[in-house]
Amino acid sequence: MKRLILFLFIPIIFGCGNKQIEILAEETMVNARTSITIAEKHGARDVAVNEISAAEEMLTNAETAHSTGDVERAYRLALRSYLHARIATEKSIASQHEENVTEAQALLDYGQKLTEEVLEKLDTLKAELSNMKK
């Protein structure tokens, strides 16, 4: 009797687990596709070419694995695709911040140069005024 119960429950347990992995794989593929789109909107094609290409390739492989029934491989590839897309997004955002910092630094340097020129002119004018008072 115990063997019969064990024989009946093992396929049910593995069958339920496989369905959950399939759902997880599908959701992860959707998340990966969304993350790739977001990365592209942030300019990942210009900054993180390798990561975005790897993400797309892994997603394509995940979709192929899913269609052939290899849901575990599909899930792993989709997850890796998602992670590569997130890395591409973060690299793109970091690059944008670096550009902003570089631009702000250039503006600051220009402002400092103008300030120095104004201070020099002020010193010159003070000296001229002092000479006029004498």
pLDDT digits (tens, 9 = 90+) for 31-41: 999 999 999 99
**Residue 6 resides in a domain:** yes
Taking each helix axis from N to C terminus, what angle separates 2-41 and 71-133, rounded to the nearest 10 degrees?
A: 30
**Residue 128 resides in a domain:** no
The per-residue pLDDT for range 101-132, each reduced to its tens digit, is 999 999 999 999 999 999 999 999 988 888 88
**Residue 47 resides in a domain:** yes
Query: Could you give the CA distance from residue 94 to residue 20 in angstroms, rounded to a whole number?
Result: 36
> Among 74, 60, 85, which Cα is nearest to 28's?
74
**Residue 46 resides in a domain:** yes
Q: Which residue has the tokens 């400092």?
A: 112
Note the pTM of the prediction, 2 decimals. Answer: 0.70
Domain coverage including residue 79: 2-96
Instruction: Look at the chain and report how many structural domains it folds into.
Output: 1
**Residue 84 resides in a domain:** yes
Q: Which amino acid is at 103?
A: E
**Residue 44 resides in a domain:** yes
SS3 at position 42: coil
